Amino acid sequence: MTVRMRAVPLVGGPVEWRGALDLETTPAGVMPRRLPAWTKEQYQDPSVHAPTVMPSGVRLVFRTDARTLEFEVLTSTARLDGDPRPRPTGMLELLVDGALAGRRQAPVGNVLRMAGPGARQRLVAGKPGTVRFAGLPRGMKNVELWLPQQTPTELVALRADGEVLAPLPDGRRRWVHHGSSISHCIEADGPTGTWPVVAAALADTEVINLSQAGNALLDPYVARTIRDMPADLISLKVGINIVALSAFRLRTFGPALHGFLDTIRDGHPDTPLLLISPVSCPALEQVPGPAATGPDGRIAALGDPADVAGGALTLTVVRAELARIAAARQASDPHLHHLDGRTLLGPHEADDLGDGLHPTAAAYRRMGRRFAAYAFAAGGPFG
């Protein structure tokens, strides 16, 4: 028996995009972005744009009585000239009534070829691929399609063999989080395996993940984005990119952080706000950046430890400064909280940093459980 599939509009119809702050219409379909469109005018570096279209935490939400769903997607992934195949595209995960109902590898579409990391890219155009989820439970149900957290993904089409309706209002608290690649979680085993999503699921909270791999640098346009969006809870994980890129000295780091917090507080004066310092990273604890990947594939610090006396930043210095600033501001901001990031992943867990910097998939899930146990517990900052 042939199943009759019906097309469902991706914009202006019953489905709702969550986790994306901009939907860009492309020649193929719809590309979600995790920052508003206006922010594109405020950065020039392609390394800033790329993480915004990696849809960590982005999902398509609706209700349906369909037994079969088809999602046509066009991914864009990279391939070094010396590699036998493109980088993994990640997983598409389907949740039905909050439970994982299926996982599918995202098909390879566009491939960006390059001679080496950071080299000029050459586009090898690909075609959309179709991912199918069949045998879904009977009756009306809540459905979420989570896009791969590490791969820019254009949604080309949605087809269903039943009725598709708008989702019910989400009455849960909204938690907005911003951090680095360690919150973007490219290395997670799937989009629902990132630590913010794991923590949000345990706390029955809706999470919006504005983390930008390599770009948690206290950019003013991020602060203004958070200021202007609805949020019941806010967290900021600050420090690793600042040290690894030598983005600030001690003299400039404090004022930049104060300004970032001041901007957020302009829109959210009383919202619980949790400031999180970096998790452990042995290479950068006592040695300042810049950092680079060594021949063994592990992160290495290139700075001079003697320069710390002159204002160079290490993770140890940044943690102390974050704690100092949080304590100073708490006198007039009782809703500001501070968490030492080593509570989530500490120095005794260095073996869980696959490249010396980024946690493994299992470690990300552990971080999510630890964050939920701390932040959302009774008496915790989000409790």
For residues 146 and 16, give the distance between their C-alpha atoms in angstroms, rounded to a whole number.
12
Whole-prediction pTM: 0.96
What pLDDT was estimated at residue 340?
Answer: 98
Q: Which residues pair with 131 in a beta bridge?
A: 71
CATH superfamily, domain 174-376, is SGNH hydrolase (3.40.50.1110)
**Terminal C-alpha separation, the chain:** 52
pLDDT, one tens digit per residue, over 277-307 is: 999 999 999 999 999 999 999 999 999 999 9
Q: Tell me which of 3.30.1010.10, 2.60.120.260, 3.10.20.30, 2.60.40.1120 is the CATH number of domain 6-165.
A: 2.60.120.260
Domain boundaries, the chain: 6-165, 174-376
**Cα atoms in the Cβ-side hemisphere of radius 13 Å centred on 288:** 19
Residue 1 has pLDDT above 60, yes or no: no
Q: Which DSSP string corresponds to 125-152?
A: ----EEEEE-SPPSS-EEEEEEPPTTS-
For residues 378 and 383, give the distance between their C-alpha atoms in angstroms, rounded to a whole number.
5
What pLDDT was estimated at residue 194?
Answer: 98
Which of 80-89, 225-234, 353-362, 364-373 has the weakest average pLDDT? 80-89
Contacts of 2 (CB under 8 A, 6+ apart): none
Residue holding tokens 């037994």? 67
Overall average pLDDT of the 370-375 stretch: 98
Q: Which DSSP string corresponds to 271-333?
A: S-EEEE-----GGGSSS---EEE-TTS-EEE-S-GGGGGGT---HHHHHHHHHHHHHHHHTT-
Planar angle of CA 218, 223, 228, nearest 5 degrees: 170
Overall average pLDDT of the 64-86 stretch: 94
The enclosing H or E element of 358 equals: none
pLDDT band, very low/low/confident/very high, at 318 (cuts 50, 70, 90): very high
What pLDDT was estimated at residue 142?
Answer: 98
pLDDT band, very low/low/confident/very high, at 345 (cuts 50, 70, 90): very high
Note whether 281 and 357 are within 8 A (CB). Answer: yes
Tokens matching residue 192: 């629902």
Question: Average pLDDT over the chain, rounded to whole?
Answer: 96
